[in-house]
Chains A and B, each alone.
Chain A
Amino acid sequence: MKQENFESQYRARWDQFEHGMSLTATQRRTLKTDNSKTAKPIDAAFAWPLDELPRRYREICHHLALARDRHYSSTLVERLERLVLAGHQALYGAQELSGGVGRFLRAGLPRLVRQHSSYIWASALLFVGPLIACIIAIQYFPEFAYTIVSPEQMAEVQQMYAPGNQRLGLQRDASGDFAMFGFYVANNVRIDFQCFAGGLLFGVGAIFFLLFNGLFIGAVAGHLTHVGYIETFWGFVAGHSAFELTGIVLSGAAGLMLGMALIAPGRQTRFAAVKSRMPDIIGVVYGAALLTFLAAFIEAFWSASRVPPVQVKYAVGIALWAVTLAYFIFVGRGGNAAANSANNAATNAAKANSAA
C-alpha cells in the first residue's frame, strides 16, 4: 500500500486518538461517564469512549509497525511513534496502588518496620550504642566530651540549658516557638534524608551519620549531666526524644537497607537490587520523616517551655516512648485478609513496575 492511501485511510482515527490523549484525566472521565451534557469542551467529532483505549492503542501500534516495515516517511513514523508513546503512558502508566495514607499508618509502616527488624536493630545499635557509651564514659572522664564537641560549641549548649533560663534550647521568646519549629523541621528532616541517602555509598554514609550523631548527642548529654543540668536538659529532651531518636534510627535503617542492597544484591545486578527493594526502603523513609516532623513539633512547642513541672515532662516523655514502641510492636498485626491481599497486590504491582 502506498503511503498516501495508508494515511488517508487512517488519518481520522489517528486524529481522534491524538485528541483523546491530549485530554486531561478529568475531561476523559466526563467523556466516559456522560457523553450527553458535560461533553462541552470535547469536540464531538473526536469523542470516543475511554474503554476503547486498549483497542485503539493496539491499532496504532499495528499501524506504526506497518509504517516502519514499509519504510514510510519519517514524518509519518514519528507521528505514530508519538501517538504510541502517549497511548503507552495512558494505558500502562496508571496511578500506582498506594493503598492510601491511612492504611500505611494503620498497618503498612509498623509491618514494614517489623519485616526489616534486623536493619532497625543494627541501626539502633550503631546510633544508641555510642550515645549511651558516651554518656557513661563522660561521667568518669569528663574531658572526653571535648574530643567530640569543641569547647566553644559546648559552652553554647551549656548556656542553652542553664537552670536560670526562662525557656530552654536555643534562646528565644514565646513568639519564637514557631520560628524554632520551622528550623527544627528543616534541619532534622534534612539530617534524616542525608542519613538515608548516605546509604548509597555502600552503607558507609549511613553508618557514619549514625555513629556521628550518636557520639555527638551522647557527648552533649553526658556533659550536661555531668555539670548537673539534669532537670533542664533531660526535661527538655524527654518530650520529643521518642519520636526524634526513632526517626533517626528509621532513616539510618533505610540507609543500611540501601547499602545492603548494593553490597549483597543476590542474583540481581546491584542497581536492580536497589530498585526492587526501593518500595520498602522509601516506606521506612516516610516513617522517619513523619516521626521527625512530629518530634520538631513537640520540641518547639512543648519541650522548650518551663511552665510544666519536670515530673510532668518526664511522664509525658515516658508515655510517648511507650506509645512509639507499642505502635511499632503491636499495630497492624493480624488484620483482615482483604487488607492483606490488597497490600500484596499493591506491592506486586510496584515490583512488576520496577522490574520492567
Chain B
Amino acid sequence: MLDTIRTVPTPEGIELLLKVAGPMPRARAWLLDLLVRLAILTVFGIIVGIFGKVGSGLMALAAFVLEWAYPVLFEVLRNGQTPGKRACDLRVLHEDGTPVQWRASVARNLIRAVDFLPVCYGFGLIAMLLNRDFKRLGDLAAGTIVVHVERKRVSKGMPIAEPLIPNPALNMALNLTEQRAVIDFAERRATWSTERANELASHAEAVLPAVSKYDTTDAATRVVRLANFLVGRRS
C-alpha cells in the first residue's frame, strides 16, 4: 500500500499508528539544525575571540560538541526532538514507538558519518528510499524511526443541530462507511466556506430526507443534522 503509516502492535492488542517522515521534511529539519548550530558557533566564536589562542581551542571543542553531541543530547533529553525537528514537527522514536534512549541515539548519530558519504547524505538518501520506513543507515543500525508528530488539532467538534431523522420511506439504510462519512463531514464542517460545504453535501442529496417545499435549509446543514442523529443526539 502506498502510505507511510507504520503499525506497531502493543501487548494490549492495540496497533499504534506512526506516520514515518520522508527525506524532504527530514532534510528541512537538518537544515534548520545546521543554521542553529552555525548561529551558536558564531555567537560562541565572538565571545571566546577575546581569549585568543585559548579561545580557538574552545572553538574547536565547541564545533566538535555541536557536531556529535548536539543531536544526541537533544534527542534523548528533549523528547526525541532537536530544535530543527521540533520546528518541523518530527520526532525520533525507537521502532516500537517508545522514546529514543542514549544507546540508540548515539548509534544513529555516529553512523551519520557513513550516511553523509559520498556527498550530501548520498548513502543516507539511498538507504531511505530502499526501505519502507525511510530509515537512513543510522536508523537501520540503531533501530529508530523518525515520525511526524501530530499537532494537537483544535477541533471544535461537531456543531450541535437539531437531529434529523432519516426518512424511513426511502428504505435506504446508511451502512457504516456512509454513516462515518456523514459524521466526518459534520466534524469538519467548520473548516469550509458555506458554498464549498454545500457543494460537497449536494452529493449526499439522494440519501438526505426529503425536504418539504417550505424547508429552506441547505444541504450542508441537513447533513450536519443527520450526523447529529447518527451520533445519538435526540431532540
Chain A residues near B (Cβ < 8 Å): 1-5, 57-58, 61-62, 64-65, 71-75, 78, 81-82, 84-85, 88-89, 92-93, 95-96, 98, 172-173, 175-183, 185-186, 189-190, 193-194, 196-198, 200-201, 205, 258, 271, 274-275, 278-279, 281-282, 285-286, 350, 353-354, 356
Chain B stretch 69-90: residues in CB contact (< 8 A) with chain A: none
Q: How far is the CA of A3 from the CA of B112 in the complex (A)?
A: 48
Q: Which of B14, B141, B155 contacts A61 (CB 8 A)?
A: B14
Which DSSP category, helix, strand, loop or mixed, fits chain A's interface?
helix
Query: Do A179 and B53 have beta carbons less than 8 Å apart?
Result: yes
Q: Which of A81, A175, A197 contacts B111 (CB 8 A)?
A: A197
Chain B stretch 104-144: residues in CB contact (< 8 A) with chain A: 104, 106-107, 110-114, 137, 140-143
Shortest CB–CB separation between residue B119 and chain A, in angstroms?
16
Q: How far is the CA of A196 from the CA of B106 in the complex (A)?
A: 12
Query: Do B113 and A61 have beta carbons less than 8 Å apart?
Result: no
Query: Do A354 and B232 have beta carbons less than 8 Å apart?
Result: no
Residues of A within 8 A of B113 (CB): 193-194, 197-198
- List the 9 closest A-B pairs by CB distance, nearest first: A2-B232, A182-B60, A182-B57, A93-B98, A179-B57, A197-B113, A186-B64, A4-B232, A178-B57
Q: How far is the CA of A173 from the CA of B56 in the complex (A)?
A: 14
Query: Do A275 and B141 have beta carbons less than 8 Å apart?
Result: yes
Residues of B within 8 A of A180 (CB): 57
Q: How far is the CA of A62 from the CA of B13 in the complex (A)?
A: 9
Shortest CB–CB separation between residue A63 and chain B, in angstroms?
10
Interface string of B38-82 (1 = CB under 8 A from A): 000000000000001111111111011001100000000000000
Which DSSP category, helix, strand, loop or mixed, fits chain B's interface?
helix
Query: Do B107 and A278 have beta carbons less than 8 Å apart?
Result: yes
Which residue among A74, A89, A201 has the maximum number of chain B CB atoms within 10 Å of its CB?
Answer: A89
Known contacts A88-B98, A200-B137, A354-B143: A182-B64 contact under CB 8 Å: yes
Does B22 sit within 8 A of A, measured CB to CB? no
Q: Which of A64, A205, A356 contacts B114 (CB 8 A)?
A: A205
Known contacts A88-B16, A92-B96, A182-B58: A172-B114 contact under CB 8 Å: no
Query: Do A61 and B10 have beta carbons less than 8 Å apart?
Result: yes
Query: Do A282 and B106 have beta carbons less than 8 Å apart?
Result: yes
Query: Do A4 and B231 have beta carbons less than 8 Å apart?
Result: yes
Q: How far is the CA of A350 from the CA of B102 in the complex (A)?
A: 11
Shortest CB–CB separation between residue A213 and chain B, in angstroms?
15
Q: How far is the CA of A354 from the CA of B141 in the complex (A)?
A: 10
Q: Which of A4, A81, A182 contacts B16 (CB 8 A)?
A: A81
Sample of 14 more A-B contacts, CB < 8 Å, known A89-B93, A96-B103, A353-B98 = A61-B13, A62-B12, A65-B13, A71-B179, A73-B180, A84-B10, A178-B58, A179-B54, A193-B68, A205-B114, A274-B141, A275-B141, A278-B142, A285-B106
Shortest CB–CB separation between residue A293 and chain B, in angstroms?
10
Chain B residues near A (Cβ < 8 Å): 10, 12-14, 16-18, 52-61, 63-64, 67-68, 93-99, 101-104, 106-107, 110-114, 137, 140-143, 150, 152-153, 155, 157-158, 176-177, 179-180, 183-184, 187, 230-233
Residues of B within 8 A of A173 (CB): 53
- Some 12 contacts from A to B, beta carbons below 8 A apart, are A57-B12, A64-B14, A73-B184, A75-B157, A89-B97, A93-B99, A96-B101, A175-B53, A178-B53, A179-B55, A200-B141, A354-B143
Residues of A within 8 A of B13 (CB): 61, 65
Which residue among A73, A173, A278 has the maximum number of chain B CB atoms within 10 Å of its CB?
Answer: A73
Known contacts A84-B16, A175-B53, A356-B96: A278-B141 contact under CB 8 Å: yes
Which residue among B14, B56, B177, B230 has the maximum number of chain A CB atoms within 10 Å of its CB?
Answer: B14
Which residue among B60, B63, B93, B137 has the maximum number of chain A CB atoms within 10 Å of its CB?
Answer: B60
Q: How far is the CA of A82 from the CA of B17 in the complex (A)?
A: 9
Q: Which of B16, B63, B110 contacts A285 (CB 8 A)?
A: B110
Shortest CB–CB separation between residue B89 and chain A, in angstroms?
13
Shortest CB–CB separation between residue B188 and chain A, in angstroms?
8
Shortest CB–CB separation between residue B225 and chain A, in angstroms?
14
Q: How far is the CA of A281 from the CA of B104 in the complex (A)?
A: 11
Q: How far is the CA of A74 from the CA of B177 in the complex (A)?
A: 11
Residues of A within 8 A of B183 (CB): 3, 72-73
Residues of B within 8 A of A88 (CB): 10, 16, 97-98
